[in-house]
Amino acid sequence: MPGTEATGTPRPPGGRHPAEAHHALVAHEVVLLLETDAERGLSGPEAARRLERFGPNLLPPATGGSLLRRILGQFHHPLIYVLLVAGAVTAALGEYVDSTVILAVVLVNALIGFVQESKAEAALEGLRAMVRTTATVVRGGREHTVPSAELVPGDLVVVEAGDKVPADVRLVRVAELRVDESALTGESDPVTKDEVVLHPGTPVADRRNMTHSGTLVTAGRGAGVVVATGPETELGAIHRLVGSAETLATPLTAKLAAFSRILTVVILALAAVTFAIGLARGEEAVRMFTAAVALAVGAIPEGLPAAVTITLAIGVVRMARRRAVIRRLPAVETLGGTTVICSDKTGTLTENQMTVRTLWTPDGTAYQVTGSGYDPSGTLRDADGTAVTADASHALRWCLLAGAACNDAVLTRAGGRWELRGDPTEGAMLVVAGKAGLRADEVAERLPRTDTIAFSSERRYMATLHDDAASGASAVLAKGATERVVGLCAGQMAADGGTRPLDRAAVLAAAERLAAEGLRVLATAARPAAEPAAFSERELPGTLVLTGLQAMLDPPRPAATAAVGACHDAGITVKMITGDHAATASAVAGRIGLLTGPRPGEGEVLTGTELAALSAREYPAAVDRARVLARVSPEQKLGLVRALQERGQVVAMTGDGVNDAPALRQADIGVAMGRGGTEVAKDAADMVLTDDDFATIEAAVEEGRGVFDNLTKFVVWTLPTNMGEGLVILVAVLLGSTLPILPTQILWINMTTAVALGLMLAFEPKERGIMNRPPRDPARPLLTRALVLRVLLVSALLIAGSWWVFGWERDAGASLAEARTAAVNLFVSVEVLYLFSCRSLTRPAWRLGLFGNRWVIGGVLTQALGQLALTYLPTMNHLFHTAPISARTWLHILGVALLAALVIAVDKRLRPAPG
């Protein structure tokens, strides 16, 4: 619980203090107050004690309001109001049986709606846990990666570019730290942070010495003390205020809800007209009133928005099972319509398991390297096949040293296995140095690092400044993309360690040759006796000596080729957008079938430089044509997405860095990597791949198509049902004849079939060949003309069928109750047969196999039991004015229903209507 005032007076260990106060204290006061250590952080046992005491660093799950509110929300529907009024009126008129039935129906409907909605929400809520958020925390003097939920007040956390701030933190050290606080303050420009003490009255948005939970680090690095976790954070306060439940709305649900609203108004007007006509005819007011209510209840597709949400939620769960976590529900819809997938290469199309295969030194020697994985056992062999070590030549030694010391990765051996913490490219360079006899710890000891120019996708190189223990001087080491490193060099190192003039053409040609084999090539450079003062990005160019090339293998992911092929069959173009070299990228692209041929065709490979040189007019067409876009900077990705969208494409784009966020937001489907991606990218994305695998995107598209099919199937099934129910009454009143189906019976049909039959379509498995048809045009309406006609046809069949059976039974001397029971059973029978037809929009029902969707079978059996109860149970007979019918009548009903099914099948055959 919050303490009193944060004035520095002793507190209970780890006591929490009002967040308002921490920004007004000097950093070390905060450290004292929270009984922690600005260098070593908390001890492990103390952190565990505090976790016990303060609870996990989590926000309470968003539920969209209290239970009562959510239950009441189920009654907030025009249809329910109509029913409640109808119930009241019938009760006032003494028709207690009818009013009880109406009320029971209202209650059951609300209950089912509530349960379904809760299930859909729970499914979505559960997904959040699948995308693990972690934080870097210093405990007992060592950095650890822990789940963000385990942070406690007093923890010393480290945040850097790409991280999501895991709790409210008072900063104690910052290095060019910039934070996007829009989640909290709405201000989209990143804020620069520092550690200075602020006035106590400073509002949250201006507290520069704090970072708050949920905000995103866009640049730099910082360390600070956690002052509040979970619900105590500023984000927690906002969360409490607005109860930020994930909305279940998507463009489609919104459109359907709008459609239902208009339909409701039209139907209510129609019901009023029916009532008026009946009265004018001199019919009894009560009878006409209930008829009008039945018309309204029957015709309004009230289950539609809920069913759509449920179908989407089921789709989301299916996608999650295939390791694609949907962060925004509309993505499920859009995925099915994807026409272009722009994918990273490294880690998505390839394994991102780098192994250096070849080392090249400027004297022209190529060394082959054996061994694989992160185990540094393997050998370097020179051109004659002789095993060599780093001592073979000075250039080789400095090439390996640059790779190993200008490096942030750490290799550890745990349980006999070598594990890497850091970037696989850097891991590979540590491993090859090890194979040549240079151990990372010895290198670090000989060349302690004093300064760094960090790697970034824009800079494409990394450089470090070291004290050289051997010579007593300083040394600069660098590694990175060949053309960038060559730009830093004036000379190249000879085998004896001397400097020769740089043979730029020879170096670039060697790099090109290695890249053409699909190897990722990094150049290395050094300056053994450097001036520390000149170590800056501006002064570095032209001061280094090229020491060699390291070429590494990164095998394509096993599933990538098949997934790219599946995308092509599905009419989806796959583009590789990579920071890597064009030759490497093209070779990998050729191997996984991403190009039209084994070698790139005209215009199929474009580099970032070529892109930048294109005119605005040429740009979109060139981008559309290109299959491989190499040496592309994250900034260029945004332009790529826009250009493709201008050409009418629906674009899925992957990204993992901070700078990818704008492109991810712009894309129709932004895809972030769950393992390798930054929190910033995940935050901007619509979908997160928990395995970083390209094949998962393809799987998600497939599921997306399935979801859209199922939505269409549900709509195509439900609309005729509603129209049929409403029109049966309307026609009867207009013709002035006896109602073939009574209002309470309409209620029965409506409520039972929607749940037992219609909803089961949401579980329909994907259709065969779903990835062999072209992507759905986003502009195409949900129901094509052919489907609208089918809806009208089935409505007509339902009405005609029920009138036919009703009339026939009456003519054969059946009572009104018996004839109506027959009409109700006919209605439901046709719905059942139509349900089987709707399992596929194109293929005939009998081709689908009876057990393809067990839910449908279960639903039909439940409905059948319900119909038997309605027909033969005396209580039901009393409540719903039904009566037992004979076997002969059943035969009659089934005969008519089969005839209707036959007409539907013929229509499907003549006008197949894919979704």
Residue 419 C-beta: closest distance to ligand ATP, Å:
18
Residue 703 C-beta: closest distance to ligand ATP, Å:
25
Output 485 or 643, the one with its CB closest to ligand ATP: 485
Q: Considering only 82-90, 126-134, 165-173, 418-426, which stretch makes contact with ligand ATP by CB under 6 A? A: 418-426
Burial string for 758-793 (b: 16+ CB within 10 Å, else e) reads bbbbbbbeebeebbeeebbeeeeebbbebbeebbeb
Alpha carbon 819 to chain centroid, angstroms: 53
Alpha carbon distance, N-terminus to C-terminus of the chain? 56
Closest residue to ligand ATP using C-beta atoms: 579
Q: Considering only 55-63, 255-263, 283-291, 345-353, which stretch makes contact with ligand ATP by CB under 6 A? A: 345-353
Counting contacts by CB under 6 A, is residue 426 touching ligand ATP? yes
Residue from 345, 435, 466, 575 touching ligand ATP (CB under 6 A): that is: 345
Q: Left, alpha or beta for 480 (phi > 0: left; psi -120 to 50: alpha)?
A: left
Residue 521 C-beta: closest distance to ligand ATP, Å:
7
Degrees, nearest 5: CA angle 234-237-241: 145
Stretch 449-478 residues interacting with ligand ATP (CB under 6 A): 455, 457, 460-462
Letters for 299-318 (x = contact with ligand ATP by CB under 6 A, - = none) are --------------------
Residue from 346, 745, 867, 871 touching ligand ATP (CB under 6 A): that is: 346
Residue from 376, 480, 556, 801 touching ligand ATP (CB under 6 A): that is: 480
CA–CA gap between residue 345 and residue 840 (Å, rounded):
37
Using the Cα atoms of residue 441, residue 446, residue 450 and residue 451 in order, give the sign of their dihedral.
Answer: negative
Counting contacts by CB under 6 A, is residue 344 touching ligand ATP? yes
Q: How many residues form the binding site for ligand ATP (CB under 6 A)?
A: 21
Output 339 or 550, the one with its CB closest to ligand ATP: 550
Q: Are 749 and 827 in contact (CB under 8 A)?
A: yes
H-assigned helices in 281-393: 285-299, 304-321, 330-335
Q: Considering only 68-76, 286-294, 421-429, 595-603, which stretch makes contact with ligand ATP by CB under 6 A? A: 421-429
Q: Considering only 210-218, 373-381, 557-565, 578-586, which stretch makes contact with ligand ATP by CB under 6 A? A: 578-586
Output 404 or 798, the one with its CB closest to ligand ATP: 404
Q: Considering only 214-222, 367-375, 422-430, 536-544, which stretch makes contact with ligand ATP by CB under 6 A? A: 422-430
Residue 482 C-beta: closest distance to ligand ATP, Å:
7
**Among 246, 302, 240, 256, CA closest to 120:** 246
Residue 315 C-beta: closest distance to ligand ATP, Å:
29
Burial of 445 (0-12, 13-18, 19+ CB in 10 A): exposed
Counting contacts by CB under 6 A, is residue 360 touching ligand ATP? no
Angle of helix 816-838 relative to helix 743-756, nearest 10 degrees, comes to 20
Angle of helix 285-299 relative to helix 251-280, nearest 10 degrees, comes to 160
Q: Which residues contact 203 (CB under 8 A, 6 or more apart)?
A: none
What single-letter DSSP state applies at residue 615? -
Output 323 or 460, the one with its CB closest to ligand ATP: 460
Q: Considering only 10-18, 78-86, 576-584, 897-905, which stretch makes contact with ligand ATP by CB under 6 A? A: 576-584
Residue from 358, 492, 578, 649 touching ligand ATP (CB under 6 A): that is: 578
Counting contacts by CB under 6 A, is residue 479 touching ligand ATP? yes
Output 294 or 592, the one with its CB closest to ligand ATP: 592
Q: Are 350 and 557 in contact (CB under 8 A)?
A: yes
Cα dist. 589→557, 586, 659 in Å?
12, 5, 24
Q: Which residues are catalytic?
A: 344
Counting contacts by CB under 6 A, is residue 425 touching ligand ATP? yes
Degrees, nearest 5: CA angle 462-463-467: 150
Q: Are 668 and 330 in contact (CB under 8 A)?
A: no
Residue 640 C-beta: closest distance to ligand ATP, Å:
12
Output 525 or 644, the one with its CB closest to ligand ATP: 525
CA–CA gap between residue 317 and residue 305 (Å, rounded):
19
CA–CA gap between residue 687 and residue 685 (Å, rounded):
5
CA–CA gap between residue 207 and residue 197 (Å, rounded):
9
Output 556 or 579, the one with its CB closest to ligand ATP: 579
Output 128 or 421, the one with its CB closest to ligand ATP: 421
Task: Give the binding site for ligand ATP (CB under 6 A).
Answer: 344-347, 423, 425-426, 455, 457, 460-462, 479-481, 520, 522, 578-581
